[in-house]
Amino acid sequence: MLKNISTIPFNGTEQQRTKLMEVIESHKDDPGAIMPVLQQAQEIYGYLPKEVQIMIAEGLNVPVEEVYGVSTFYSQFSLTPKGKYNISVCLGTACYVKGAGKLIDEITDRLGIGPEECTEDGKFSLTACRCIGACGLAPVLTVNDEVYGRLEPEDIPEILAKYN
């Protein structure tokens, strides 16, 4: 899938680097290590900037191209940083026919960011996700781990206000 690549400068800490190196070390000899290492690297950094992908490639002794190939293939991997509050709007079919697209428009109008983007203050990011399986509550969105269901665009300001 097509992915946005972050232009925000990388500012990983030494502590994060040490953690990543430990992860790489523990998977070094496993066949098919790229996926689990990327999954854990994303937990450490919150996203997968190219600097991290290069570290992984060097650590696992595989071409960067291969790491990049896997990281851009799966939608779970994010190449842009997430905001403090990540708003994820479900665009599964059930939510779509019940107007999930309008929820995204409303959020974009209010926050000035589109899907896969983050507000400049780093507070909110927006993602359009595939079905989270709560079709009975369609349309659904989540803010971090909090689920909001049976929504109308008018509900958006109230939800956003909770995090301001």
Least Å from the CB of residue 13 to another protein: 25
Output the smallest distance, CB 9 to another protein, in A.
26
Could you list the residues that contact another protein (CB under 8 A)? 1-2, 31-36, 38-39, 69-70, 73-77, 91-98, 129-138, 140, 147, 149
DSSP 72-126: HHSTT--SS---SEEEEEE-SHHHHHTTHHHHHHHHHHHH---TTEE-TTSSEEE
CA dihedral 94, 96, 99, 105 (to 10 degrees): 150
The distance of closest approach from Cβ of residue 148 to another protein in the complex, given in angstroms and rounded to an integer, is 9
Q: Is the dihedral of CA 65, 8, 101, 146 positive or negative?
A: positive
Burial of 135 (0-12, 13-18, 19+ CB in 10 A): middle
Closer to another protein by CB, 5 or 120: give it: 5
User: Rounded to the nearest whole angstrom, what is the least distance from the CB of residue 83 to another protein in the complex?
Assistant: 20
Report the DSSP pairing between strands 117-118 and 141-143.
Answer: unpaired
- CB 60 within 8 Å of CB 34: yes
User: Of the two residues 36 and 122, which places its CB atom closer to another protein in the complex?
Assistant: 36
Contact in structure between 34 and 70 (CB atoms under 8 Å)? yes
**In the bound complex, what is the minimum distance in angstroms from residue 53's beta carbon to another protein?**
14
Residue type, 134: A
Please say which residue, 65 or 121, places its beta carbon nearer to another protein: 65
Q: Which is nearer to another protein, 66 or 123 (CB)?
A: 66
- The residue (of 4 and 76) whose beta carbon lies closer to another protein is 76
